[in-house]
Structure 1
Amino acid sequence: MAAPMNLQSLSDKIVRTRVSSVLNKDVKQFGKKHLFDGDEETCWNSDQGSPQWIVVEFSESVPVSQLDIQFQGGFVGKTCWVEAIQSGQESFVRLHSFFPQDINQIQNFPLPDTGSSLSSLKIVFDSSTDFFGRITIYKLEILGAS
């Protein structure tokens, strides 16, 4: 059995973040900057419609091992997946599906070892527990093996 990995945040490697939408275009209150600010009182809140997504670009290729996501209950992705641009590739390839619970706590989603580092990561929320398709995230942490 393999020894457990030491995971560390890759937030210092993030150079650009894009999101599918922001509720009422109010980026000050609900913008993408709130995904990584560490403030429990702030959040990214998408506008309505499906799918919603988050794209993260890294300063260098990094090995991504896990996503930690804290949703707002009632505004949780139901059918979700991760796409990535791996080293030497130019377009996103679907890597892994995950299915969050409709709760407010931080949820951990281990990703399969691709054997390759990633230059960009896309998290797709194909559907939502919200009738209008909105997603609300208080915390997103992208972790890699150290």
Structure 2
Amino acid sequence: MPWLLQDAAKVKASIGSSKEARCAFDGDEETVWTVELGSPSISAHVLVASTLSAPRRVETWQALECIFAGGFSPIRIVTLAGFAREGSKEVEWIEVQESYPRDGNMQQSFAYEPEAVAATLRARGKRSTDACTHIALRLDGSTDGFGRVIVYRLNVLAT
């Protein structure tokens, strides 16, 4: 199964360096992306948005995979699908799923629930067969008292 974000055409992080954020998607567990949210509160977050190298149907998404350093995990990860509007640079973002990683240095996988994703998209006038052009992952809060998140891997698997 391919990792959708590994070959992303463009990566943009709302906090810190976008170049460093790309390390989370490279598949190499020796590289790391460190984010300082400034607060452990769930209201503190970083958004990392990726422009896909080619549009992908949301129904092909299988799972979110992640590895965080123990003690430096986000409290919640929100996956968003982005649909570029024709003739515009504007992107319509739809929250697809929330995942709650455990605080530990281990690989974790969160399957996308096809029925729930389809219902969410339908409520916003989209179908799971529609091709999205962007994927964003929002990391909310931190298990670290100073609001740091350390990411070794973060990616979306697809068929």
Letter in 1 for 2:37: Q
Deviates more, 1:99-108 or 1:54-63: 54-63
Q: Normalized against structure 1, the TM-score is what? A: 0.78
Superposed, 1:50-61 pairs within 5 Å as 50-61=44-55
Instruction: Measure how far apart 1:61 and its partner are.
Output: 1.3
Whether 1:122 aligns to 2:136 is: yes
Instruction: Measure how far apart 1:88 and its partner are.
Output: 5.5
Letter in 2 for 1:134: R
Say if 2:13 and 2:21, in contact at 8 Å, map to a contact too: yes
Q: Secondary structure at the match of 1:92?
A: strand
Match for 2:24 among 27, 35, 38? 35
Show the counterpart of 2:34.
Answer: 45
Instruction: Measure how far apart 1:104 and its partner are.
Output: 0.6
Cα separation, 2, equivalents of 1:103 and 1:12: 23
**Structure 2 unpaired stretches of 5+:** 39-43, 119-127
Show the counterpart of 1:142.
Answer: 156
Show the counterpart of 1:16.
Answer: 10
Q: Which has the higher contact order (CA 8 A, sep 6+)?
A: 2
Cα separation, 2, equivalents of 1:12 and 1:124: 17
How many residues in Structure 1 have an aligned counterpart in Structure 2? 134
Show the counterpart of 2:71.
Answer: 74
Two-structure CA RMSD over aligned residues (Å): 2.3
Q: Normalized against structure 2, the TM-score is what? A: 0.73
Letter in 2 for 1:144: A
Cα separation, 2, equivalents of 1:21 and 1:131: 18
Say if 1:75 and 1:130, in contact at 8 Å, map to a contact too: yes
Runs of 4+ in 1 over 2 A off after TM superposition: 7-13, 36-41, 86-90
